Amino acid sequence: MTKEKQFVKEITTMEDDFAQWYTDVVKKADLVDYASVRGSMIIRPYGYAIWEAIRAALDQMIKETGHENIYMPLLIPESLLQKEKDHIEGFAPEVAWVTQGGAESLSERLVIRPTSEVLFGEHYAQIIHSYRDLPKLYNQWANVVRWEKTTRPFLRSLEFLWQEGHTCHATGTEAQEETERMLEIYAEICEHFLAIPVLRGRKTDQEKFAGAVHTLTIESLMHDGKALQTGTSHYLGTGFAEAFGIQFTDKNGELQTVHQTSWGITTRLIGALIMVHGDNRGLVVPPRIAPKQVMIVPIAQHKEGVLDKAYALKEQLKSVARVDIDASDKKPGWKFNEYEMKGIPLRLEIGPKDIEKDQVVLTRRDTGEKMPVPMNELETKVTELLHAIQDNLFARAKAHREEKTTVARTMDEFKTALVENPGFIQAMWCGSPACENFIKDETSATSRCIPFEQEHVSGHCVCCGEKAEHLVYWAKAY
């Protein structure tokens, strides 16, 4: 057993049991703990700091595109939820019901918001009167509750955190442009910050949001070949607006109904982060979103000058990176393991020998590469490496997705691909729900999206063999 081995927190390997590996990482990287309520999670400081980083980046982009934050009530009266028929049908089976307040039994039940379209609908009807009031571009950061049967931290939990944008526009064109703009912002958050490559596309009618005309989506591929929907942007048309009476007088003095959108991303993104970049030593956090980018580990820190130098390095690096130091009396081996498990992009070792040589030793979390770096090149090198790690994580994930994407022209090819190279399947679809359902029943794979970038991989539906024009990405999904 090597010296480092003995400090290794034991986690299941991905190859042995991917689901268990995920649970182990979530727990041992101190992202989440479990609470008394089935299916609820405690987001621990390290997990929450990652969420704060995602939120800060996204909030800035949401504001820069002219949106304003607002806060809507948590509780929705049953009668309000019922105003839009498709919407209530979609959500009723999975809401939590409040039936009592203090000692009083409520005459009307309340639901804890599973999403807030109806609250925004009611509010917009109050405040929109004229074309001058449009567009209305609101966003909310909030918690929502959905009564899920089986739950997993970040991926599917009773309660989760998210943002939900809700906008009103004078025309359908403007509203549809908005859904595209927001989908692109979500893609930017995933690709630029989280280093997660995404497919951009549209959901089939069966997979769209309850109450939407259509749903745009970004989809990404996890290590185990399963897909994860990482963000959605819905064009709601005038359905909610008609149900709630959101009308405005246009420039010609005529009464019109607004066109709406809604869009959201959730703490699920942290689940994606884990399953796209993580490895058998734990989490790997892309530098741009990492709460801590560099962790300094002093070696032989009881020796004169080591800790002083380590703290000086922390000061020195402050201007180029989010840097921290672990000067606790734990063994360096324990520390190495701990910060690998937490996925901190760079480890910086500094000991008496390094001080003699006027150098430090940097180790990349993504590749494991270890390198001595002269003190006077430190800032440059750290900056360079953080960029390199960010780029490498994205490139690696993209290569993985490409490798795990198979074209299928027949159901046989489809099924073989799912077994031999689990991941995305590109296959043509005739557009009929019957074929979509057949594929789902036969293979457990669902249509993930009709990508904006269409390729013509064949002329016929993979399922029924009829003429088909839509390329669809299919996959088993979370």
Q: Write out the residues near a second copy by the rule CB under 8 A.
A: 33, 35-37, 40-45, 48-49, 51-52, 68-77, 79-80, 92-104, 110, 112, 119, 122-123, 126-127, 132, 138, 142-143, 145, 147, 158-159, 161, 328
**8 A C-beta contact, residue 77 and residue 99:** no
Closest CB 461 distance from a second copy, rounded Å:
36
Closer to a second copy by CB, 147 or 311: give it. Answer: 147
113 or 223: whose CB is closer to a second copy? 113
Which is closer to a second copy, CB of 237 or CB of 291? 291
Nearer to a second copy, 94 or 391 (CB): 94
Q: Is 399 exposed, middle or buried (0-12, 13-18, 19+ CB in 10 A)?
A: exposed
> Which of 367, 385, 423, 382 minimizes the C-alpha distance to 197?
423
Tell me: cis bond preceding 332? Omega within 30 of 0 counts.
Answer: no
Q: Are strands 259-266 and 159-169 parallel, antiparallel or unpaired?
A: antiparallel
Query: Which residues are CB-neighbours of 341 under 8 A, at least 6 positions away?
Result: 9, 11, 25, 28, 29, 281, 282, 283
Q: How far is the CB of 107 from a second copy (least distance, A)?
A: 11
| Minimum distance of a second copy from residue 58's CB (angstroms) | 15
**Least Å from the CB of residue 326 to a second copy:** 13
Q: How far apart are CA 385 and CA 282, in angstroms?
A: 20
Shortest distance (Å) from residue 365 CB to a second copy: 22
**Residues 338-341: contacts with CB within 8 Å, 24+ apart?**
338/9, 339/295, 339/297, 339/365, 340/281, 340/282, 340/365, 341/9, 341/11, 341/25, 341/28, 341/29, 341/281, 341/282, 341/283
Q: Which residue lies nearer to a second copy by CB, 53 or 272? A: 53
| Closer to a second copy by Cβ: residue 2 or 99 | 99
What is the closest distance, in whole angstroms, from the C-beta atom of residue 36 to a second copy in the complex? 5
Minimum distance, C-beta of residue 123 to a second copy, in the bound complex (Å): 6
Which CB atom, from 35 or from 300, has the smaller least distance to a second copy? 35
Q: Measured from the CB of residue 33, what is the shortest distance to a second copy in angstroms?
A: 6
Q: Which residue has the tokens 């069966």?
A: 206
- At its nearest, how many Å lie between a second copy and the CB of residue 371? 32
Neighbours of 234 (CB within 10 A): 27
Cα-only R_g, the chain: 25
Q: Which of 195, 198, 216 has the alpha carbon at shortest distance from 207?
A: 216
User: Phi first, then psi: what are they for 224, rounded to 5°?
Assistant: -90, 5
Nearer to a second copy (CB atom), residue 113 or residue 309: 113
CB of 159 to a second copy, least distance (A): 5
Half-sphere exposure of 35 (CA within 13 A, CB side): 12
Judged by CB, which is closer to a second copy: 71, or 453? 71
- Spatial CA neighbour of 53 closest among 263, 264, 290: 290
Closest to a second copy by CB, 199 vs 285, is 285
Residue 440 to residues 144, 192, 411, 445, 458, Cα–Cα distance (Å): 29, 32, 12, 5, 20
Q: Between 142 and 258, whose beta carbon lies closer to a second copy?
A: 142
Residues 6+ apart with CB under 8 A from 244: 83, 84, 118, 121, 122, 124, 125
Q: Least distance (Å) from a second copy to the CB of residue 18?
A: 26
